[in-house]
Structure 1
Amino acid sequence: MKIILMRHGKPALENYHAVAARDMVDWIADYDRSEIGTDAATQEAIAAVRDIGLATTSSAPRALTSLAALGKAPASEDTTFREAALPVVRVPLLRLSPFTWAFVFRLLWLCGVTKDSESYAQAKRRSRQAADKLAALASGRDSVLLLGHGFMNRLIARQLLRQGWVEVSKSGSGYWGFAVYEKAE
């Protein structure tokens, strides 16, 4: 049995310059609505999923369009696989790139700041559910692909390792990055 956790392709977003923290609410909403546009899957990603038995994904447009770019249709879409939300913390006067803000907000989130978003503990519980779902999908199949998201894929990977899955290869954690996990039947 094999599970592949793959991150989506690069979202097609407008070129955002430095923004105030309060503007991140709109930027995150744009990111969540974004597809991958013309971002092509890497040859390594295409090869990894060539003979996949079943594909599943979150319901995020960037995940769905990434799966389509691989020439695959989802057997299911599941919100359990969605990315862990970022808390937006108001910081007056400071303007940073959206990706720098995202990094800062993720660090704050890891330190317990939630601001109406799912907590780290809740995301870890959800990652256990996600790993259980993937293991159930893999049962009786040769392989399952989850086309998901960077941080949540990392949390799911930890759960798979705890369940006895073994990471047999990894291509990185950037866009189109993936890791392959295997478990003896």
Structure 2
Amino acid sequence: MKEIILVRHGKPASAHNQKVNAVDYAKWVRNYNKSELDPNSQPRKKVCLENSYIGVSPLHRAKCSAAYYGASHIHEELADLREMDIPYYHLPFTLKAWHWVVISRALWFLGRKGRFERFTDAKQRVERLAVYLDTLSKQEPRIVLFGHGMAHFFLRKSLVKQKWRITEKDGEFWGVTRLEKM
């Protein structure tokens, strides 16, 4: 039995939800991407990391989460595991930050371009990662990855297409998603 465990990062300290205009939303995204973890953000449960191949996204919040979790050795930093960009557009609104995220991601899914990775490119990157992980699992039967919500969502979908079975799913901060394959 092979297992891939996806652990979403802890809540970033900058993940507030104040009202912001487009310029301040772009700053919010930059701060979110380099934020430390909220000291009050704790895992609801912890996965045992023994006998696991540990991979981590290159983004700071994922690395901090792996360290907080007790990962004493990271086997690989996976560039393809980084979060799908949080897009930002210069729209004439003042909204709560997380409403900006939802609207911006919806426009991004529909193909609207900006100064960030295109949605189709992000999906291809995550699909490439799924193929890599499926191959890696032949040598490393238990893989634990510290990454991000949207990247994990599409990675999970790509792994299911490769005959991985979801046995546990939680996309919240510190959430754990488990997939197994015979």
- The normalised TM-score by structure 2 is 0.91
Flag structure 2 segments of 5+ consecutive residues without an equivalent: none
Whether the 8 Å CA contact 1:5–1:178 is kept in 2: the answer is yes
Q: Could you give the per-residue CA deviations for residues 116-148 of structure 1, whole angstroms, max 9, x where no partner exists?
A: 222221111101111122223322223101111
Equivalence map 1:59-98=2 (5 Å): 59-72=58-71, 73-92=73-92, 94-98=93-97
12-21 or 28-37, larger mean C-alpha shift: 12-21
Equivalent residue letter for 2:86: L
Q: Residues 131 and 20 of structure 1: is their aligned pair in 2 closer, same or farther, counting only changes over 3 Å?
A: same
Does 1:13 pair with 2:14?
yes
Q: Residues 50 and 115 of structure 1: is their aligned pair in 2 closer, same or farther, counting only changes over 3 Å?
A: same
Count of residue correspondences: 180
Structure 1 ranges of 4+ moved more than 4 A: none
Whether the 8 Å CA contact 1:9–1:39 is kept in 2: the answer is no
Does 1:183 pair with 2:181?
yes
Q: Residues 121 and 58 of structure 1: is their aligned pair in 2 closer, same or farther, counting only changes over 3 Å?
A: same
Q: Residues 91 and 178 of structure 1: is their aligned pair in 2 closer, same or farther, counting only changes over 3 Å?
A: same
SS in 2 for 1:146: strand
Q: Could you give the per-residue CA deviations for residues 79-121 of structure 1, whole angstroms, max 9, x where no partner exists?
A: 21111113211112x2111111111111111111121222221
Q: Residues 14 and 162 of structure 1: is their aligned pair in 2 closer, same or farther, counting only changes over 3 Å?
A: closer
Does 1:33 pair with 2:34?
yes
Whether the 8 Å CA contact 2:15–2:32 is kept in 1: the answer is no
- d(CA) in 2 for partners of 1:178 and 1:15? 23
- The normalised TM-score by structure 1 is 0.90
Flag structure 1 segments of 5+ consecutive residues without an equivalent: none
Does 1:105 pair with 2:99?
no
RMSD (CA atoms): 1.7
Q: Residues 153 and 108 of structure 1: is their aligned pair in 2 closer, same or farther, counting only changes over 3 Å?
A: same
